[in-house]
Chain A
Amino acid sequence: AQSVTQLGSHVSVSEGALVLLRCNYSSSVPPYLFWYVQYPNQGLQLLLKYTSAATLVKGINGFEAEFKKSETSFHLTKPSAHMSDAAEYFCAVSGNTGTASKLTFGTGTRLQVTL
């Protein structure tokens, strides 16, 4: 079974500071990994995804993530936080099951950005 673990349910950073949200995965097959963001009262928006093409993945809004197989990690980073980044972030894994698709999500990390 595949799973992801997000370390830290709440992360607080100052505006302009580095954002680091942690995600570790467990998978017996090559994983496909995703980061989604959820703003209050909204659905999920894809930030970026890893599908084995490149280990460093760049996404929207200045976010990027690096796939590290040796550490089974896929941490999300942004060099400089902005107030508009305050939201909940979810890491997810999708297994290689042919044409079927099922996302297994982590428990989420709420990012707070302070002045």
Chain B
Amino acid sequence: KAGVTQTPRYLIKTRGQQVTLSCSPISGHRSVSWYQQTPGQGLQFLFEYFSETQRNKGNFPGRFSGRQFSNSRSEMNVSTLELGDSALYLCASRSGGSGATDTQYFGPGTRLTVL
């Protein structure tokens, strides 16, 4: 089975721009979660989508949004980029069965640099 794929792997943007990141989950997985990883804040949960519905949300401003398509692929959008948005954005998928005990499988991440 193919793993979680994320595109693009690297991205450079300037302040004020917006960016869209894409995630394709493992085949058959219905849940996709997004995490931000920075040296200062560590790994932080952004949101989770399950069957096209946002099921859970972390403490991030409204500039961070996401969506999930009927094929379970997910996109994450960040508008009006700030320097502090520079981070590794990780996507994780799980089957969507028993929430807390489900294993989340992570993709390689998208490295976003904001100049």
Chain B residues with Cβ below 8 Å from A98 are: 99
Contact indicator per residue, chain A 57-81, by CB within 8 Å of chain B (1) or not (0): 0000000000000000000000000
Nearest A-chain residue to B10, judged by Cβ: A41
Range class of the A interface residue count: 20 to 34
Q: Within 8 Å of chain B (Cβ to Cβ): is A56?
A: no
A101–B33 Cα gap in the complex (Å)? Answer: 8
Taking a contact as CB atoms closer than 8 A, the residue among A34, A92, A100, A108 that contacts B99 in the complex is A100
Contact flag A90-B55 (CB < 8 Å), given A45-B106, A46-B105? no
* Known A101-B48, A102-B45: A94·B100 in contact at CB below 8 Å: yes
Among residues of B, the one whose C-beta sits closest to the C-beta of A29 is B100
Tell me the complex Cα distance, A64–B56, Å: 30
A107 touches B45 (CB 8 A): no
Interface residues of A in 94-112 (CB under 8 A from B): 94-108
Q: Report B-chain residues with C-beta under 8 Å of the C-beta of A51.
A: 101
Contact code string A26-41 (vs B, CB < 8 Å = 1, else 0): 0000001010100001
**CA–CA, A105 to B90, complex, Å?**
13
Residues of A within 8 A of B56 (CB): 97, 100-102
Interface assignment of A84: CB less than 8 Å from any CB of chain B: no
Contacts of A17 in B (CB 8 A): none
Whether B109 is near chain A, meaning CB under 8 Å from some CB there, is: yes
What are the 8 A-B residue pairs with the smallest beta carbon separation, nearest first? Answer: A43-B106, A105-B43, A44-B106, A51-B101, A99-B99, A101-B99, A94-B100, A100-B56
- A interface, CB within 8 angstroms of B: 32, 34, 36, 41-46, 49, 51, 90, 92, 94-108
Q: Which residues of B contact A (CB under 8 A)?
A: 4, 31, 33, 35, 42-45, 48, 50, 55-56, 58, 90, 92, 94, 96-109
Q: Contacts A42-B109, A107-B42 given; 4 further ones with Cβ under 8 A?
A: A34-B103, A46-B103, A103-B92, A108-B42
